[in-house]
Structure 1
Amino acid sequence: MEKEEGLEERSLRQFDALVERGNLLWRMTTPQLIKADPFNFQFRSANSLTAKPILSSTDPGRSKSTNAFSDTDPDFFLSHIGSSHTLILNKYCVVRPQFLLHTNTFIPQSDHLTESDLAAAWTVLSSLTRGKYIVIYNCGFEGGSSVGHKHLQILPRPKKEEGFEFFPDLLSIDSDTSTVPKIPFRHSVKKLLLSPSAAQLVGIYKSLVEQVKVQEAAGHNVLLTEDWILVIPRTKGRKGILSANAAAMAGMVWVTGEEEVRQWVEAGPMKLLCEFGVVDQEVG
């Protein structure tokens, strides 16, 4: 009996076919490691980001009730997740593969995550069994979102041999702590000891949002793995040509080329994260 094709196998097959046809914008690049304290930064350059549409904070598309993903090429489609979400391949990729999980009806990207969002995200994480993945959510323009239709992204976690780990993995957390030592910007994190239900996940998320004092509809980032969930409040998404999404706030910075890397390094990457986020007065 032929083995059923799993989500990773199917996504990579579709991914490679779309790249070959020029419909999905991605090329393999070598990540660049920049040493810093208390964690290193990994810069990933992607020409696809130059083609990616980024709506301004006042663009009607951030509040207009239209489905931004309604005309997506069917070859990008992977699966319906429950009745409320759809999983597709991200057209503007930085890594291979990179997924996009969007709501089927228009919900503003400035809205906080709900139980159905987290249930869908956890379903996808649990279906990706061949490697470790991370879910990111860029809430609001200040959180680094590009479009106004609610969506999360799922991507592979970096391999240890690359010399980079997201700081909750690198600096370790335990079940009793809600912050990671020495991080100079405000954040709140929770270790996930057992496979949580969607109700438990949304409860944890709400408590983390309260701990970091994220106001309703204020910009923030969420990073979710099978091991932990992290919330980071945001004050701005861009500074000149530089931008930061959820991955960047944890050290994986996506850039269009060397000029952006130069500006990040010149300004000091940890200092920039404090500008994009909220300085932790007790650390800073």
Structure 2
Amino acid sequence: MATPLNYESILSRFDELVAKKAVFYADRKTIQLEDAGFALEFHISPSLTKKPQDGDPVSGHEDPHATTKPECFGPGSDIGNSDPGLLLATIRGTHLLVVNKFCMFRPQLLLLTSDSYRRQREALDVHDLEAACAVLSELGERPLFVIYNCGPVGGASRQHKHLQVLPRPPRLFPDERGFEEKSVPFRYFLRYLDVVDIGASEGYGKVFKAYTALLAEAKQALGIDPASEEYFPHNVALVKEWIIVIPRQSADVEGITANAPGMLGSVWLTSDEQFEQWKQVGPRKVLAGLGYPSI
């Protein structure tokens, strides 16, 4: 990054985009709930109502009579670039840091591959994690985390490969070293980064090594060849202190969906009705079905 990122400048840009309605963001309601020892926060906001789902066209692409198509972040991208202010920075020459158009939090950012033909079904590579570590390091004065939803089964709604950068929830179960493993309803693969400085020149390589090891462990535990390059749906969350891989077997349980933050207990909803559905089915049952039930 030629120019260091500045969090206050990002907030200012975010607010400008919201004011001109280039970004959808609204006040949210938060409800805390615990299910047999697993803590959850449900965030409810209408800002995600217009968010495209997997397979949906970019806004405007669905009009067969349109003479021009909406601009995206590259010829292979399905992520709309409707305002030049969405682009914040180029990261390490391989990724674009942009403001997400559909936001639950202030701010909510995307880290897109500069190569718009890269796809969300791919595993993360060393450049993805280099860019993620660079952003976390540059904005280190703020509690942020990076997540990745690998493919539609992992909760992704777009095909252009991207990570997300978000304000870090106040409570995530890996934060407590002595957490009760039986309280987590799904299988996960976790590595603490005690000896890794993600801001150091060699830090991202160590994070990538940890990620590839966790991915191999997850595949092997599920009876999949660790060397297989077939699509392996999973979620990833990265903070300075740890990285976690959560294998996924389903995109929904009884119509209920969740992305990486949702698997960690930060669930994003658009209505009170969706929250009631979560309560009716049961959060533990939902998360165990989206992932693989804990042994």
Is 2:33 aligned against 1:34? Answer: yes
Q: Which amino acid aligns with 1:221?
A: N
Match of 2:261 in 1: 247
Q: Which amino acid aligns with 1:278?
A: Y
Match of 2:275 in 1: 261
**Matched-pair contact (CA < 8 Å) for 1:166–1:250:** yes
Deviation track 1:61-119 (CA, whole Å, cap 9, x = no partner) reads: xxxx7123473421111100011100011110001111100001121100000000000
Q: Which amino acid aligns with 2:20?
A: R
Secondary structure at the counterpart of residue 97 of structure 1: coil
Alignment of 1:49-88 (within 5 A): 49-56=48-55, 66-69=76-79, 71-88=81-98
Alignment of 1:108-257 (within 5 A): 108-159=119-170, 165-170=171-176, 172=178, 180-193=181-194, 194-196=196-198, 197-213=203-219, 216-257=230-271
Tell me the distance in 1 between the aligned counterparts of 2:286 and 2:4.
43
Deviation track 1:10-67 (CA, whole Å, cap 9, x = no partner) reads: 110011111111221111223111122332110011212110111249xxxxxxx712
Q: Give TM-score scaled by structure 1 length.
A: 0.86
Secondary structure at the counterpart of residue 271 of structure 1: helix
Sequence identity percentage: 36
Which one of 109, 123, 136 corresponds to residue 99 of structure 1? 109
Secondary structure at the counterpart of residue 238 of structure 1: coil
Tell me the distance in 1 between the aligned counterparts of 2:215 and 2:265.
20
Q: What displacement does 1:264 show?
A: 0.4
Structure 2 residue runs without a partner (length 5+): 57-74, 225-229
**Matched-pair contact (CA < 8 Å) for 1:168–1:180:** no
Q: Give TM-score scaled by structure 2 length.
A: 0.83
Tell me the distance in 2 between the aligned counterparts of 1:222 and 1:152.
9
Distance 1:24 1:255, change over 3 A: same
Q: What displacement does 1:201 show?
A: 1.3
Tell me the distance in 2 between the aligned counterparts of 1:275 and 1:171.
25
Structure 1 residue runs without a partner (length 5+): 58-64, 160-164, 174-178
Secondary structure at the counterpart of residue 51 of structure 1: coil
Tell me the distance in 2 between the aligned counterparts of 1:239 and 1:202.
31
Q: What displacement does 1:152 show?
A: 0.3
Match of 1:277 in 2: 291
Aligned-CA RMSD value: 2.3
Secondary structure at the counterpart of residue 23 of structure 1: coil
Tell me the distance in 1 between the aligned counterparts of 2:104 and 2:184.
26
Match of 1:17 in 2: 16
Distance 1:5 1:143, change over 3 A: closer
**Matched-pair contact (CA < 8 Å) for 1:99–1:155:** yes
Distance 1:172 1:56, change over 3 A: farther
**Matched-pair contact (CA < 8 Å) for 1:46–1:93:** no
